Amino acid sequence: MATERKRIHFISLGCPKNRVDTEVMLGVANQAGCDLAATPEEAEYIVVNTCGFIGPAKEESVDTILAMGRMKEEGICEKLVVAGCLSQRYPDELAREMPEVDHFLGSSDMLKLGAVLAGGAERMLVGNPANYVLRASDPRVLSQGRHSAYLKIAEGCNRTCSFCAIPLIRGKQRSRGIDDVVEEAARLASQGVLELNLVSQDTIAYGRDRDEKPTLAGLVRRLGEVEGLRWIRLHYLYPETLTDELVELIASHPKVVKYVDMPLQHASDAMLQRMKRGHGGARLRRVVETVRTKIPGVTFRTAFIVGHPGESEEDFTELVDFVKWAEFDRVGVFRYSDEDGTGSETQDAKVKPKDSAARHRKLMAVQRPIARKRNRALIGTRVEVLVDGASEEHEYVLQGRHAGQAPDIDGVVYLSGAEVSAGSMVMADISQSADYDLVGEVVMEEDALIPVKARPQKRVALRVTVD
C-alpha cells in the first residue's frame, strides 16, 4: 500500500454475523494504515459487505452496489470492493454484470482485503468458505458502542432446512474452540465490552463438529468467568430439546440474561415437514412450555415464515393460534422467497404473493397487542438498563436497553432524569410503554442497586403512541 493513508468506508448489510465479518475487515484496514471515512463521499475505498439470504436482502445488496458504483463512475472514490454472501453465491454473474466493481470477496475472505489494499490483487478473490473460521488472533475493530459486541462462535450450518441457502453459501458448521472464543471475549471485555451477544447460524449445535465435543453450556459457563462482562445473550437457538445444564444457566447464572432467541419458523406439522425442520408442532409446544416454566421471567423471541410452498389457510390458522397461545415477547415474520438451489424452490403449491403479504400483515397484527401487553406489565417496575447513548428520536433523552432487549432487533428504553455516559449500567423506573419501546427515569436515590454518578437532568415528558 502507498505511504499516504487511504480513507475507507464500509457498508455492512444483513445479519449480526455479517457485522462481525465487517468488523474483521475494519481490523484489516486498520492494520493497513487506512483511516475510516464516515460517509462514502469522503472515501477512496468503499467496501460493501452484502447479504444473499432472501430476496429482499439480495435486492438491497444489489441496489447498494449500484449506488456505490455510480459514485465511483463520478470519480468520488477510487476502488469499489464487494464482499459477503451475495458475491459468494453469484461471483461470476456479479463480475460479468458489474464491471464497476474492482474486487470481489466471498463470505469467508475478509482477510484478503489486506491484499486489495496493498495493491495488485486479482479482481476475483472469492474462495471456499470451508477454508475459514474466525480466530481470536484475527484483527477486529468494533463498529458499534464499545460496551456491546457480537461474538461469533461458529461458521456455517449442518441443518438441511429446505428453505435455507446458508449451507450453500457458508458451508458446513465449523465451531471455534472454547479457549479461542474465551480469549476473544476477554480481549473485548478489556476494551470495555459489558454485553456479549453470542451468534452463529445454529448456536445450540455449537461444538458437535469438533473432536473434543465441547457444548454450548460449557462455553457459556467459561464465558461467565470472564472478568468485566455483565450480560451474555444467546441468539439463534434451534428448537430442539434444551439440555438441563443450558436451561439452568439461562435461568440462574448472574451474567446470562433470561433471553431466548429461537426461530421456530412454523407450527403446522405439514409445514414443518415441508420445511424439513425435523420436528412437529407438538415438540414446539413442549419447548415453549419448558422455557416458560423453567426460566421464570424469560424474554422469548422467535421468527416465522409465511407463504412457504404448500401453506394452506388451515396451516396458517394453526400458526396464528400457536402465536396467540404462546404469547411470545418478540416475533419476526418473514415472507417466503424462492432461493436458488434450495429444496423449497422446487416444491409445488406455491403461495400467491398477495396471499403471503396478507398473512404477514395478519400475523404481525396478532402479535402487536401481545407485545404491547407484555411491555405494559413493566410499568411501575425498576429494571437494569445498559445505556447505549443519546436518543436519535427525542431531544435531551438517552436510550438504552434492559436485559430483555437485544441490540438492533428489539425495542429500547428512553431515559430521562440524569446524564450518564454510553456504557453505563443504571437502574430505571419504567413509567410508560408502547408496542416495543419503554420510557423510564434513571434512579438517583441511595437505594438504587447500581449507583449513578451523574448530573440530574430536567425531566422530559415523552409522547408515546399505544394504539
At residue 464, the pLDDT reads 36
| Number of other residues whose CB lies within 10 A of the CB of residue 301 | 21
Q: How many helices (H) and strands (E) does the chain have?
A: 13, 21
Could you state, in order of their start, the residue ranges of all structural domains in the chain?
Answer: 7-128, 148-376, 382-456
Give the pLDDT score at 296: 95
pLDDT at res. 56: 87
Distance CA 106, CA 89 (A): 8
Q: Which CATH architecture has domain 148-376?
A: Alpha-Beta Horseshoe (3.80)
The CATH number that domain 382-456 falls under is 2.40.50.140
Chain-centre distance for alpha carbon 430: 26
d(CA 391, CA 400): 9
DSSP E strands, 254-321:
256-261, 299-306
The predicted structure's pLDDT at residue 393: 74
Dihedrals φ, ψ of 130, to 5°?
-65, -10
pLDDT of residue 445: 55
Do 420 and 386 form a contact (C-beta atoms < 8 A)?
A: no
Cα 277 to Cα 337: distance, rounded to the nearest angstrom:
17
Per DSSP, the three-state class of 310 is coil
Residue 50 neighbours by CB distance under 10 Å: 30
The span from the CA of 55 to the CA of 161, in Å, is 17
Would you state the pLDDT for residue 251? 96
Give the per-residue pLDDT at 300: 97
* Per-residue CA distances from 38 to 60, 185, 215, 385 (Å): 20, 27, 40, 28
How high is the pLDDT of residue 420? 86
Q: Please list the pLDDT of the chain residue by residue as tens digits (467 residues).
A: 444 788 999 999 999 999 999 999 999 999 999 999 999 999 999 999 999 888 888 999 999 999 999 988 888 889 999 999 999 999 999 999 999 999 999 999 999 999 999 999 999 999 999 999 999 999 999 987 789 999 999 999 999 999 999 999 999 999 999 999 999 999 999 999 999 999 999 999 999 999 999 999 999 999 999 999 999 999 999 988 789 999 999 999 999 999 999 999 999 999 999 999 989 999 999 999 999 999 999 999 999 999 999 999 999 999 999 999 999 999 999 999 999 999 999 999 999 999 999 999 999 999 999 999 999 999 999 999 999 998 877 767 899 999 999 998 999 999 988 788 889 999 999 999 998 899 999 987 544 444 444 433 434 333 333 33
Cβ neighbours for 185, distance < 8 A, ≥ 6 positions apart: 151, 196, 223, 226, 229
Range 7-128: architecture per CATH: 3-Layer(aba) Sandwich (3.40)
Quickly list DSSP for 317-376. HHHHHHHHHH--SEEEEEE----TT-TGGG-SSPPPHHHHHHHHHHHHHHHHHHHHHHHH
314: CB partners within 8 A, 6+ apart: 268
Answer for the pair 165, 342: CB distance below 8 angstroms, yes or no.
yes
